[in-house]
Amino acid sequence: MSRARGKARRPNFTIKVGFADVAVKHVKMKDFGEFDSLDMVIRINENLDNWVYMQTFKHEILHAAAFVFGMSDMGLNEERWVDFSSAALTMVERDNLGIFERARSGGDLSADATACVSN
């Protein structure tokens, strides 16, 4: 959503990805996002809806991690696996709201209607 539609602008921040501190900046741009390995900056389009933002954020983090861990440009078709992974994780997060937070805190996941419960 754009600010014109009443959405507050997301503040910039810094995240740690491996050995690197990566600045996350929300900017006007034509693409969804980008990772700049020279400046260690993730730029994300400031006008994305929340779930598209979440997918883009994960996508660019995976590009940063690929760079930090030496996996960039190794014939691994980085764009495809980054896009698949970020989309899959965002899909699960959206379809099971809060499940990762509950799992991290040791919460009861059996209450989640769509959670797979074994044993």
CA angle (56 as vertex; 63, 83 as ends), nearest 5: 60
Binding track over 15-54 against Zn ion, x by CB under 5 A: ----------------------------------------
Nearest Cα residue to 66 out of 48, 86, 93, 89 = 86
Three-state secondary structure readout of 30-62: CCCEEEECCCCEEEEECCCCHHHHHHHHHHHHH
Chain positions 47 to 106 lying near Zn ion, rule: CB under 5 A, are 79
**Nearer of residues 21 and 79 to Zn ion, judged by Cβ:** 79
Q: Cβ 57 to Zn ion, closest distance in Å? A: 12
Q: Cβ 62 to Zn ion, closest distance in Å? A: 8
Whole-angstrom CA distances from 5 to 8, 29, 48, 76 are: 9, 18, 12, 40
Number of residues binding to Zn ion, judged by CB under 5 A: 1
**Nearer of residues 13 and 81 to Zn ion, judged by Cβ:** 81
**Nearer of residues 26 and 63 to Zn ion, judged by Cβ:** 63
Q: Cβ 82 to Zn ion, closest distance in Å? A: 5
Which residues contact Zn ion by CB under 5 A?
79
